[in-house]
Structure 1
Amino acid sequence: MTQPLTVAVQMDPLDSINIAGDSSFALMLSAQARGHRLFHYAAEDLNYADGRVWARAHPVTVQRVDGDHFTFGEAVNLDLGDEADVVLMRQDPPFDLGYITATHLLERIADRTLVVNDPASVRNAPEKVWVLDFARFMPPTLVTRSLDEARAFLAKHGAIVVKPLHGNGGKAIFKVDSDGANLSALIEVFNMTWREPHMIQAFLPGVAQGDKRIVLVDGEVAGAINRLPGEGEIRSNLAVGGSAVKTELTAREEEICAALKPELKRRGLIFVGIDVIGGEWLTEINVTSPTGIVAIDRFNGTDTAGMIWDAIERRVGAMKKG
């Protein structure tokens, strides 16, 4: 049994979460069961002065009772470098300047306090950008703001999918059929909405058979679920009406996970979720606030939150010895 840790959880408001499926809440329950002390704060509560990073944080206890799932104590100024052992960076994207600034502030304490996932690595590995390092496992992909490039890609590959480069949760994902209807209007809207380029990929008919979420803990496969799109949908994210079913990994998916493992460990990316379509096409590497562990454990009888805390406790022990 490890010594009790002080754990600061940087996340969205607790009253807004769905405790039945929320991975952050599952991690908090697991930490509390191990005797760790929990604090909650939002990214906007971070402060810096004189080399210190602190947050106005509430001590919190949690329980699996819908509508009465957390109790706050009186807020304190928690020094994240000196008074916390672990910071869980679990607020949802968008991966905007507020998110990036939080990683810069937390990076200043990462030599003393374990930040999960490592803030510099999170900043340098946005979901749909870092995955390009593993392009050999990806479907044909174009990153652009150019309508002409999008048209040429469509002509080469037939039906395509257009999505924001820093989107999340299955939002704003559009299929454009081979006739290109509405492609120009769609690129126009995307260019007006986002300053960065957009991601365009060849449409994979295999998405009808599901989009697999595989969770890796410190580089090791913890489990997976297959997310099936709802009626009339190409998106299989649970947040937009997809449904989860039990699944196993294909040989190709095992190959993908093996290729990722050393880089995840090197970068301090302890809790990662990857998305694979049709058993073979890697589309995202989720490092900011990965989800899916509650559904995985429900189907497989596993304890993924416990695996994550085992990895965290090992890392904290190594830091304190070092």
Structure 2
Amino acid sequence: MNICFILDPWADLNPEIDSSLRVIHEAALRGHKVAIFQPKNLTIRENETYAFANILTRMDKVPESIPAFYKKAKFRKQMVPLKGFDAVFLRKDPPIDNLMLNFLDSVKDDTFIINSVDGLRKANNKIYVTSFEEAADYIPETYVSKDIDYLEQVINDCKKDKMILKPLDGFGGHGVIVLETKAKQNIRSLLEFYISGSGSKNYVILQEYIEGADKGDVRVLMLNGEPIGAMKRIPKEGDARSNVHAGGTARKHVMTKTELEICRCIGAKLVHDGIYFAGLDIINGKLLEINVLSPGGITRINKFNKTKLQKRILDFVELVHKRRENAVNRKINFRKVIEDA
């Protein structure tokens, strides 16, 4: 197979923990042709979408150690057509590049994209979680707006002492704070900062505070509508965020019946929407977010459970590719039968 990865600069990847690198390494181990590039490398040539990609040079023997693979990997730059790839992994950190999606529109019918272009347009925001009607009982009360007066009224009407405030386009725990609903003198100033602080009006999210959030959350990785691994994330002392990038620590976790039920409730819709690989953030039986652009956690879950989730991910992609190839071959054979009739 020919597989490309749209991701952040190679030099910025941490070989010890990066999830994307685990999948790239597994693809190289299996002998697939691997290319990487950034969204800015996309271009149009003679009405076709190309990329100035870095092609991984084949190794005589791919190191089993991922840090060793990262250090040894060498690339050659070449302008290549995206339709020549069998699979495209979108592993770029948020926020999403909408122009990148426009480029990918021209190849989405010919190449398996993970996650799908249309799915990302629908799901790459924190509002997406509210669209799962079957999981309504597991979703916290959520309010999204740019209207300061409205949000201030929501906070004033809240019967609980705390709410969560965060930017709509944030990731990795950036900008997430616990709002004390009784701190009236600070609320409007905070809302003004979050909505207008960057110079333009931005949407923010208010969400009910889930009891037990101070003890951490659960990150669940979903593949093709099924949970394949989970870990507990514990915030550092004095911080409301459990994200590892924000200083939290990860621990082994066995999923509860409620967490498995949440996965069951949302799995089919994720697949229907073209979201084949996602990360769920769950606190005390409530689904807070669905991360669809570049969900992480593979390395730590692997370590806790002595597994290699990247193998399951590549197995899935290879299966999809085989099915697509078989469908094309059947179509060709059927056409020949008719032509020879």
Same fold per superposition (TM over 0.5):
yes
SS in 1 for 2:236: coil
Cα deviation, residue 195, structure 1: 2.8
| RMSD of Structure 2 on Structure 1 (CA) | 1.7
Partner of 2:177: 174
SS in 2 for 1:239: helix
SS in 2 for 1:182: helix
Are 1:42 and 2:46 matched, yes or no? no
Deviating more after overlay: 131-140 vs 214-223 = 131-140
Structure 1 residues 149 and 161, CA, compared in 2 at 3 Å: closer, same or farther? Answer: same
SS in 2 for 1:58: strand
Deviations 1:40-92 (A, max 9, x none): 111010112443111000112586237953533321111011x2111111111
- Would the aligned equivalents of 2:242 and 2:248 in 1 still touch at CA under 8 Å? yes
SS in 1 for 2:261: helix
Partner of 2:339: none
Structure 1 residues 240 and 260, CA, compared in 2 at 3 Å: closer, same or farther? Answer: same
Are 1:148 and 2:153 matched, yes or no? no
Alignment partner of 2:22 out of 17, 23, 26: 26
Partner of 2:232: 226
Are 1:163 and 2:166 matched, yes or no? yes
Are 1:244 and 2:242 matched, yes or no? no
Letter in 2 for 1:146: D
Partner of 2:188: 184
* 2: CA distance, partners of 1:283 / 1:128: 8
* 2: CA distance, partners of 1:164 / 1:29: 34
SS in 1 for 2:107: coil
* 2: CA distance, partners of 1:243 / 1:107: 38
* 2: CA distance, partners of 1:59 / 1:38: 6
- Would the aligned equivalents of 2:56 and 2:76 in 1 still touch at CA under 8 Å? no
Cα deviation, residue 277, structure 1: 0.7
Letter in 2 for 1:167: G
SS in 2 for 1:315: helix
Cα deviation, residue 149, structure 1: 2.2
Deviations 1:216-264 (A, max 9, x none): 1111110100100001111000001000011111222111101111112
* 1: CA distance, partners of 2:261 / 2:316: 22
- Would the aligned equivalents of 1:273 and 1:285 in 2 still touch at CA under 8 Å? yes
Percent identity of paired positions between Structure 1 and Structure 2: 29
* 2: CA distance, partners of 1:294 / 1:67: 15
* 2: CA distance, partners of 1:147 / 1:268: 34
Partner of 1:74: 76
Structure 1 residues 165 and 294, CA, compared in 2 at 3 Å: closer, same or farther? Answer: same
- Would the aligned equivalents of 2:118 and 2:274 in 1 still touch at CA under 8 Å? no
- Would the aligned equivalents of 2:15 and 2:70 in 1 still touch at CA under 8 Å? no
After TM superposition, list the pairs within 5 Å mapping 1:8-157 onto structure 2. Answer: 8-60=4-56, 64-65=66-67, 69=71, 71-81=73-83, 83-95=84-96, 99-134=97-132, 135-155=136-156, 156=158, 157=160
- Would the aligned equivalents of 1:139 and 1:282 in 2 still touch at CA under 8 Å? yes
Unpaired stretches in structure 2, ≥5 consecutive residues: 328-341
Query: Post-superposition, which runs of at least 4 consecutive aligned residues in structure 1 deviate over 3 A?
Result: none
Cα deviation, residue 100, structure 1: 1.3
